[in-house]
Amino acid sequence: MQMKKDFEHYYILLRRKIIRPIMNNKKLSVFIARHCLKTHMKMFYENWLGKRLNLSHPQDMNHQLMKLSLEAYKDPIQHKLRVQCADKYRVREYVASKGREDILIPSYGVFDNFDEIDFDKLPNQFVIQSNFGCGHIWICKDKQSADIKKWREQFNEWMAIEDFGLSSSEWQYSEMPHKLVITKYLDSLGAISVNDYKFHCMHGNVYGCFAAYDRQVGVDHGVQFDHYDIDWKLTDGIRPGWHSKRREIPKPQCYKQMLEIAKILSKDFPYCRVDLYEAEGKVLFGELTFTPQGNVMSYYTDEMLRDMLMFYNETL
């Protein structure tokens, strides 16, 4: 018992004195990821959650996701497919190849940089986002009053980011050319909500839905999270701090169709999160995600993460 306590004490010191400073140094972190991805994954996981990562014998779904990410990096077919489908522009081709072009949000084009965009040709409302980033998005509700100069500076800053994803062990985002994708604004499509319905899928089987609701776009970017099982029953899988204003949201009208689409789009992957929306009785595609929160889903309880791993193993 004393030996275990001593080991844990020295491990905490190791994380605080060595791992954390390295992970906080982006250049050094990226260097390690490029030369030894496995080591970087362990350090990233341990720095974020304060726990050791077990890649040989995963103890929960976060461990398993890290293992799958490393395996996909080494597998030529999964590597290529993951890079394509993590790309918010090129994934559209993948969705169309699965016979579901009907769920794609109408696009106004893809551009290499902000200066290529002709705003005179855009409608009054639209959405611009990078194809590789997380949170690199402008939801324009009124073009006439928009501060385009401010957004030009912001997108130029985002587009200049090198090796995005490597510092968080999400290698797929560092291997795609940077683009700007412009699509139709959801409210103009008659969306009944701005809820995100994010389906965790393992080998083409749906585990449940991670729902993001009451989203506030602005300075604080507030959002509430919850998890529903496949029968749309609210679970206790989300840590309370992630839904301080919790409320039960109604099941989507197209829920059955969403499940079918999630199965179709995830079938080629051992794990994939399929993000969908709903508008006027129709399902709309959001994105495919392979490394949710960098494979350190801290919003889930330990029990939920272990249950997800059990489900994953049952689908093998």
DSSP output for 135-188: S-EEEES-GGG--HHHHHHHHHHHHT--STTGGGT-GGGGGS---EEEE--GGG
Contact 183, 200 (CB under 8 A): no
Q: What is the pLDDT of residues 160-192, one digit of tens each?
A: 998 899 988 899 999 999 999 999 998 866 655
CA 141-146-151 angle, to 5 degrees, is 105
- Predicted TM-score of the model (pTM): 0.93
Note the pLDDT of residue 11: 54
Q: What is the pLDDT of residues 62-121, one digit of tens each?
A: 999 999 999 999 999 999 999 999 999 999 999 999 999 999 999 999 999 999 999 999
Q: Tell me which DSSP letter residue 117 carries.
A: -
User: Which residues are 139's β-sheet partners?
Assistant: 127
Q: What is the pLDDT along the chain (316 residues), one digit of tens a residue?
A: 544 444 454 555 667 678 888 888 999 999 999 999 999 999 999 999 988 899 999 999 999 999 999 999 999 999 999 999 999 999 999 999 999 999 999 999 999 999 999 999 999 999 999 999 888 999 999 999 999 999 999 999 999 998 899 988 899 999 999 999 999 998 866 655 679 999 999 999 999 999 999 877 654 557 899 999 999 999 999 999 999 999 999 999 999 999 999 999 999 999 999 999 998 889 999 999 999 999 999 999 999 999 999 999 999 9
